[in-house]
């Protein structure tokens, strides 16, 4: 069977499952989610063994340590994933929520209600937690899903998908509610992007190259997520001790994720005092700095002169671009030029500056005196997330359950004609 036929068959299976999920109540969906959480831990040795296989292959193929960390599962991480599934089960079910309603002069009752989208496709890279998070969110919101992870995580993802499929069947729901594309070839990925009539929306989750490829090649609707060239701007005036802590957290707590800071902008008035102290803390994580001429003057030869490309790069590594700016306005201009619209932060003691920044910076999440690392569905109280949307239609920011639904108008009459 060629890639086109294989993907069409997968899409048909998911579509059939979605029709059953659309009429499945909250209790049954929550029961299935709790079964998945339980079975992930029961089968943890099987899952971790598959993950070790992927890690060994990754090391043999020269994958960077920071990217191997994205791929790695441990007993603790698996327990956290299972806990996240239980948290999704405990969240309110958005399906059936009445958003608006009215009674027309002719007596028609019109209700606007949330309903599942149908089949959601997710194309993502080597983060196996996405396999479970995406499945849990799609299931809770009444959607079937087709998951296509990267080849680096295929053994882990296959083990996770098999466990979840068996859990769904034990709970009385279709096992095809969660399907994994086990062929990681580009040909299969391209065919998945063209499953019009079978996939209702496609969500790419990963680096800029993956997202651009999906946007350029897909014929099904796409929600862009994930690419994060995020900025921290240290204003004048500012609590510099706070600014150091926030900057180090935003860059170094987990540099491989999309909400990590990639560029540090510093007001000239505080640069001499701030940059040497901040560098001392960043050095503890062996962070490479790439700076403008003023940054190089202040910090010396340890800093690599920054190029135009450095300010436009999402590093996903212990690398930070630095620029000294003359004003808040210049910082905002820099962000407008290089930002991917993910998460941007100002660290300031001036209320009027914070208001100007939050009003004028165009991003899914804008922070005042806090780390960009909080742009996360769990941190926002949404439970697990399916991704961070950086576009403006139909969702923006962390995508939780409500963002995985659409609306339907219910019109109740008593024989009205027009």
Task: Report the candidate in 264, 302, 297, 301 with the shortest Cα–Cα distance to residue 283.
Answer: 302
Residues 89 and 24 both lie in one domain: yes
101-115, 134-148, 324-338, 375-389, range with the lowest pLDDT? 375-389
Residues 264 and 365 both lie in one domain: yes
Q: Which two tokens stand for residue 224?
A: 């862009």
Residues 30 and 107 both lie in one domain: yes
Summary mean pLDDT of the chain: 95
Q: Is pLDDT above 90 for 64?
A: no
175 occurs within a structural domain? yes
Domain count, the chain: 2
218-227, 307-316, 399-408, range with the lowest pLDDT? 218-227
Q: How confident is the model at residue 66 (pLDDT cuts 50, 70, 90)?
A: confident
pLDDT in tens, 339-370: 999 999 999 999 999 999 999 999 999 999 99
Task: Please report the pLDDT score of residue 205 as a whole number.
Answer: 87
CA-based torsion, 54, 57, 63, 66: positive or negative: positive
For residue 115, count other CB atoms closer than 10 A to its CB: 17
pLDDT in tens, 128-176: 999 999 999 999 999 999 999 999 999 999 999 999 999 999 999 999 9
pLDDT in tens, 69-119: 889 999 999 999 999 999 999 999 999 999 999 999 999 999 999 999 999
Task: Please report the pLDDT score of residue 128 as a whole number.
Answer: 92
For residue 400, count other CB atoms closer than 10 A to its CB: 23
Q: In what order do the strands lie in the sheet with 405-412?
A: 98-103, 109-116, 405-412
Task: Report the candidate in 303, 340, 337, 309 with the shortest Cα–Cα distance to residue 322.
Answer: 303
Task: Please report the pLDDT score of residue 97 as a whole number.
Answer: 97
Residues 191 and 268 both lie in one domain: no
Distance CA 392, CA 389 (A): 8
Distance CA 137, CA 134 (A): 5
381 occurs within a structural domain? no
This prediction has a pTM of 0.87
Please report the beta strands in 259-309, taking only residues with DSSP state E, as ranges in sequence order: 261-267, 288-291, 304-305
For residue 5, count other CB atoms closer than 10 A to its CB: 10
Q: Which two tokens stand for residue 365?
A: 């999440």
Residues 21 and 105 both lie in one domain: yes
294 occurs within a structural domain? yes
In Å, how far are 75, 259, 346 from 72, measured between CA atoms? 10, 19, 33
Task: Please report the pLDDT score of residue 386 as a whole number.
Answer: 87
Residues 42 and 138 both lie in one domain: yes
380 occurs within a structural domain? no
pLDDT above 70 coverage of the chain, percent: 100
CATH number where 146 lies = 3.40.605.10
340 occurs within a structural domain? yes
pLDDT in tens, 33-43: 999 999 999 99
Residues 6+ apart with CB under 8 A from 396: 364, 389, 390
> What range defines the domain where residue 350 resides?
230-374
Residues 243 and 188 both lie in one domain: no
Task: Please report the pLDDT score of residue 70 as a whole number.
Answer: 85
Across 127-163, b (16+ Cβ under 10 Å) vs e yields bbbbbbbbbbbbbbbbbbbbbbbbebbbbbbbbbbbb
Residues 70 and 215 both lie in one domain: yes
418 occurs within a structural domain? no
The answer to whether residues 227 and 343 touch, using CB atoms and an 8 Å cutoff, is no
1-5, 137-141, 195-199, range with the lowest pLDDT? 1-5
Run of H or E including 398: strand 397-398
Strand partners, 124: 205
Task: Please report the pLDDT score of residue 206 as a whole number.
Answer: 79
13 occurs within a structural domain? yes
295 occurs within a structural domain? yes
pLDDT in tens, 283-306: 999 999 999 999 999 999 899 999
Residues 214 and 263 both lie in one domain: no
The answer to whether residues 119 and 93 touch, using CB atoms and an 8 Å cutoff, is no
Task: Please report the pLDDT score of residue 381 as a whole number.
Answer: 83
Residues 197 and 247 both lie in one domain: no
Q: How confident is the model at residue 208 (pLDDT cuts 50, 70, 90)?
A: confident
What's the N-to-C CA distance of the chain in angstroms?
51
Residues 142 and 175 both lie in one domain: yes
In Å, how far are 207, 241, 320 from 150, measured between CA atoms? 12, 40, 26
Residues 300 and 364 both lie in one domain: yes
Q: How confident is the model at residue 267 (pLDDT cuts 50, 70, 90)?
A: very high
Q: Is pLDDT above 90 for 178?
A: yes
CATH number where 357 lies = 3.40.309.10
Task: Please report the pLDDT score of residue 393 as a whole number.
Answer: 86
């Amino acid at each position: 069977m060629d890639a086109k036929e294989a993907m069409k068959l997968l899409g048909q299976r998911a579509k059939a499952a979605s029709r059953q999920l659309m009429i499945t109540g909250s209790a049954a969906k929550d029961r299935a989610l709790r079964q998945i959480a339980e079975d992930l831990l029961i089968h943890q040795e099987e899952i971790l063994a598959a993950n070790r296989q992927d890690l060994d292959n990754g090391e043999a193929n020269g994958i960077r340590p920071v990217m191997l960390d994205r791929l790695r599962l441990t007993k603790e991480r698996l327990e956290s994933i299972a806990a996240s599934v239980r948290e999704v089960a405990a969240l309110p079910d958005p399906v059936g929520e009445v958003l608006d309603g009215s009674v027309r002069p002719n007596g028609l009752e019109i209700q606007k209600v949330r309903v599942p989208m149908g089949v959601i496709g997710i194309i993502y890279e080597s983060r196996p937690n996405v396999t479970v998070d995406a499945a849990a969110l799609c299931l809770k919101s009444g959607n079937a899903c087709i998951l296509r992870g990267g080849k680096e995580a295929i053994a882990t993802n296959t083990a996770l998908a098999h466990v979840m499929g068996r859990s769904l069947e034990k709970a009385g729901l279709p096992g095809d509610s969660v399907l994994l594309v086990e062929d990681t070839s580009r040909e299969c990925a391209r065919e998945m992007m063209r499953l019009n009539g079978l996939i209702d929306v496609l969500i790419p989750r990963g680096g800029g190259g993956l997202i651009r490829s999906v946007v350029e090649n897909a014929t099904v609707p796409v929600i862009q997520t994930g690419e994060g060239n995020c900025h921290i701007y240290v204003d004048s005036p500012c609590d510099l001790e706070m600014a150091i802590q926030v900057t180090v957290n935003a860059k170094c707590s987990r540099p491989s994720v999309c909400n990590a800071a990639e560029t540090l902008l510093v007001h000239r008035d505080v640069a001499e005092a701030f940059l040497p102290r901040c560098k001392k803390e960043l050095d503890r994580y062996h962070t490479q700095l790439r700076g403008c001429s003023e940054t190089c003057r202040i910090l010396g030869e340890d800093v690599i002169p920054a190029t135009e490309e450095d300010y436009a790069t999402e590093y996903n590594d212990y690398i930070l671009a630095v620029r000294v700016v003359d004003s808040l306005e210049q910082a905002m201009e820099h962000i407008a030029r290089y930002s991917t619209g993910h998460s941007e932060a100002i660290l300031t003691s001036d209320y009027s500056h914070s208001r100007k920044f939050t009003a004028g910076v165009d991003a899914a999440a804008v922070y005042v005196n806090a780390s960009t690392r909080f742009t996360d569905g769990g941190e926002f109280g949404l439970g697990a997330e399916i991704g961070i949307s950086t576009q403006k239609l139909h969702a923006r920011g962390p995508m939780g359950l409500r963002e995985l639904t659409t609306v339907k108008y219910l019109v109740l009459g008593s024989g009205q004609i027009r």
